Amino acid sequence: MPTVPLFQIDAFTDRPFAGNPAAVCPVEAFPADDVMLAIARENNLSETAFVKARADGAFDLRWFTPAHEVDLCGHATLASGHVVLGRLRPDSVEARFHTRSGELTVRRGEAGALVMDLPAAAPTPCPAPAGLAAALGVKPEATLAGRYLLAVLPDAEAVRAVKPDFAAVARVDAYAVCVTAPGTGADADVHFVSRLFAPRAGIDEDPVTGSAHCLLTPYWGARLGEKTLRARQVSRRVGELTCTWRGDRVELVGHAVEVIEGRLSW
C-alpha cells in the first residue's frame, strides 16, 4: 500500500485555524495524475500540493484543487515553502520550485515570515460579463480581466457584504471572480481588501488567494501610486499579506502555521 507524508498548513496567517489551509505531500515520485486528483478530493481543501526533490537542489511542485490541476497557486506554494524550510531542509534559507508558472521561490523573512516571489499579471479593463451583477448581488464600479475577473467595488464594507449566488457565478464567463475595494472602515489599516469565488474549480469561496494578488498588487499599486501594499482577504477565515510590486514580479510576505502532520495511504 503506497503511503506519503502529509502536512496541513494554514497559510497567510500567524495563528492556527485562520488563513487558507493547504495540504502538502512530499513525494519521491509524483503519483499518477488521477491519484493526485483523488488525494486532493479526499483532502477537500482549496489546494493540495505535491513536492518532489530534484537533483539540482530545487523541487518540482504541482497543485490540485478538488476539481483539477492548476497552473498557479500562491497559498499552497507558501505552505510548501514552510514544509521545505521547516521540515525537509531546515538549514536552508530559500526553497526553489519548478512549476507550470516557471520558477517560484520562498525564502525566510523577518520575524518568522516567509517571502514568496510570483509572476505579476496586471489585469486589463473589460466590459462586465453577462450575469455578473446578478451573480454577486451588486453592480461593480469597474471590471478587469486577467487570470481571474476582478470586480471593483466602492469600499471594503461592500466587499464584506457580497452574498454570491455560486451557481450563477459558475455561469459567468470567467474562471473565478475576485471582488476588491480600497481599505475603508474597519479595514482602513490596509490598502485594499478582496474575496475570491471559484465554483468552477470546486471552491465556492477561497479563504486567501496568493495568485489573485498577482493581479491585485499591480492594479492597486498603479491606482494608489504605491509599490508596497498591505492587503487583507476578508473571507470568513481572513488572511493578511504584504505585497510588493516589482515590475514583472510580485513579492508576497506572509506567515504559515503547521496544524496537522500525518501519513496518507491508498
- What positions carry a catalytic annotation? 47
Rounded-to-integer distance, Cα 113 and Cα 109, Å? 5
54-to-27, 32, 102, 181 alpha-carbon distances in Å: 11, 18, 15, 41
Reading the block at residue 87, the C-alpha cell is 521540515
> Hey, which residues does 119 pair with through a beta bridge?
249
In eight-state DSSP terms, residue 187 is G
Rounded-to-integer distance, Cα 61 and Cα 223, Å? 33
What's at 176, amino acid-wise?
Answer: A
**Cell numbers 489599516 correspond to what residue?**
189
Taking a C-beta distance cutoff of 8 angstroms, is the pair 199, 229 a contact?
no
Q: What is the dihedral of CA 127, 132, 133, 134, to 10 degrees?
A: 150
Helix (H) or strand (E) holding 217: helix 213-224
Taking a C-beta distance cutoff of 8 angstroms, is the pair 121, 148 a contact?
no
Cα–chain-centroid distance for residue 102?
A: 16
Provide the terminal-to-terminal Cα distance of the chain, rounded to the nearest Å. 6
Of 198, 259, 257, nearest in space to 75 by CA: 257
